[in-house]
Amino acid sequence: MREIDRTLEALLFVSAQPVAVPELAQAATAGEGEVVESLARLRERYAEGFRGIVLRELAGGFTLATDPSTDDAVRRLLARPRTPALTPAQAETLAIVAYLQPISRPEVTRIRGVASDSATATLHERGLVEEAGRSQFGAVLYRTTELFLKLFGLRALDDLPDPAGWDPTPDEAGALRERLLRAGESRIGLEQPAG
């Protein structure tokens, strides 16, 4: 398989919408003629009846789609209940557990500044965190699970990004603090009843 074919295949795979030849050419840093030739090769490779994926020309662009012969199986899979995305509170809680595990709910609440009982309970129900013993004060400690590693594409916790890479400079921290204070003040102003 040629490099341009691999590149176009990847571009079509990640795009949720059909992609026009000029856009593919620009993204692949290739000429439009080269893209058209590559699409012809990909069309042969993904011809109907040979694979589960076909190359379709739709709405002025190209896209990878399922072969019509797989429609029944695809419908059965997609009819299964989908797991909802994490809420911001759940994502914050999960990040805190991932980096500071084992950690108790009261500690998570102290770090977040808001109650984390619901977020922690949901993460536990979804299998992303599990109990890992008790603190010296009797609080349940939580840690991430193998499912967490799998869903986030990590071999081990050591693969988590280093938070030091996100440490703001003192000037950035000051500017961020000011923005957060202004946002909090405006939020409080909106929440107070008119007098």
Residue 186: C-alpha distances to residues 116, 176, 177, 179, 180 (Å): 24, 15, 14, 11, 10
Residue 190: C-alpha distances to residues 89, 176, 183, 187, 194 (Å): 21, 21, 11, 5, 9
Domain membership flag for residue 121? yes
CA-nearest of 90, 78, 147 to 117 is 90
Q: Among 76, 100, 119, which residue terminates a domain? A: 76
Query: What pLDDT, in 10s, does the model give residues 87-119?
Result: 989 999 999 999 999 999 999 888 888 888 999
Q: What distance in Å separates the CA atoms of residue 83 and residue 151, rounded to the nearest whole number?
A: 12
Round the average pLDDT of the chain to a whole number and report it.
85
The answer to whether the bond into 102 is cis (omega within 30° of 0) is yes
Domain that holds residue 50: 3-76
Q: Is residue 169 predicted with pLDDT exceeding 90?
A: no
How many structural domains is the chain composed of?
Answer: 2
Domain membership flag for residue 16? yes
Output the six-digit token pair for 62.
Answer: 């190209």
Q: Among 18, 45, 76, which residue terminates a domain? A: 76
Domain membership flag for residue 24? yes
Domain with residue 23: its CATH number is 1.10.10.10
Query: pTM for this one?
Result: 0.50
